C-alpha cells in the first residue's frame, strides 16, 4: 500500500527484493511505498524465447527501458523491435505484450503511478498461482489471452 511520504533511498547494484515472477526474475528497485505512490521501478531478467501474454493496464502507464538483449514489443497496433538502450512507452488502456529472442533480455519496468511492486510480491507467491487472473484484475489490469504454459 502506498503512503503519502517519499523516502530517500539508495540501492547498490544487484540490490532490491528479488522474486520468481511468471518465469522471469523480477527485482523491485523502487517501491510505491518509497515514492508516496508515484511510481514503481522493477528490473526484470527475461529468459531467451520467452513471451508475455497480451494484457492491459487500466490504472498505470508502463515504460520499458532495455538494458541488455533484444525483445519484440506489440503496443496497440505497433510492432517495435528493441535492443539495449532503447526505451518504449505503453500508455494505460492500450493492450501490449513482448517476447524475447535467443539472447533473452534484461529491462526496467517503470510504472506510474506505483503499485506494480505490490502485484509482483503477491503474484510471485506460489500459493497464489491459481489466482493470477484475479490478482491481475485486483491490481488494475486485464489478461487478454491466457498465460503461456
Q: Is residue 129 part of a domain?
A: yes
Q: Whole-model pTM?
A: 0.90
Does residue 6 sit within a domain? no
What pLDDT, in 10s, does the model give residues 39-95?
999 999 999 999 999 999 999 999 999 999 999 999 999 999 999 999 999 999 999
pLDDT, tens digit (0-9, with 9 covering 90-100), for 106-144: 999 999 999 999 999 999 999 888 888 899 999 999 988
Instruction: Give a yes or no: residue 30 inside a domain.
Output: yes
Q: Which domain holds residue 116?
A: 18-142
Quick check: is 87 in a domain? yes
Q: Is residue 105 part of a domain?
A: yes
Pair 58, 142: CB distance under 8 Å: yes
* Domain contains 2: no
CATH of the domain at 105: 2.60.120.10
- How many folded domains does the chain comprise? 1
Q: What is the pLDDT of residue 4?
A: 63
Q: Is residue 11 part of a domain?
A: no
Q: Are 57 and 141 in contact (CB under 8 A)?
A: yes
Query: Please, which residues have CB within 8 angstroms of residue 75's CB and are 6 or more apart in sequence?
Result: 88, 90, 94, 95, 96
pLDDT of residue 112: 98
In-domain check, residue 148: no
Amino acid at each position: 500500500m502506498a503512503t503519502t511520504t517519499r523516502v530517500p533511498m539508495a540501492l547498490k547494484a544487484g540490490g532490491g527484493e528479488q522474486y520468481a515472477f511468471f518465469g522471469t526474475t523480477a527485482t523491485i528497485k523502487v517501491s510505491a511505498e518509497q515514492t508516496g505512490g508515484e511510481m514503481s521501478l522493477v528490473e526484470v531478467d527475461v529468459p531467451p524465447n520467452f513471451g508475455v501474454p497480451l494484457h492491459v493496464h487500466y490504472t498505470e502507464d508502463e515504460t520499458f527501458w532495455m538494458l541488455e538483449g533484444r525483445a519484440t514489443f506489440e503496443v496497440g497496433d505497433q510492432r517495435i523491435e528493441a535492443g539495449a538502450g532503447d526505451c518504449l512507452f505503453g500508455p494505460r488502456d492500450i493492450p501490449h505484450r513482448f517476447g524475447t529472442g535467443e539472447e533473452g533480455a534484461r529491462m526496467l519496468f517503470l510504472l506510474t503511478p506505483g503499485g506494480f511492486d505490490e502485484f509482483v510480491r503477491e503474484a510471485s507467491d506460489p500459493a497464489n498461482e491459481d489466482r493470477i487472473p484475479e490478482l491481475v484484475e485486483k491490481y488494475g489490469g486485464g489478461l487478454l489471452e491466457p498465460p503461456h504454459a
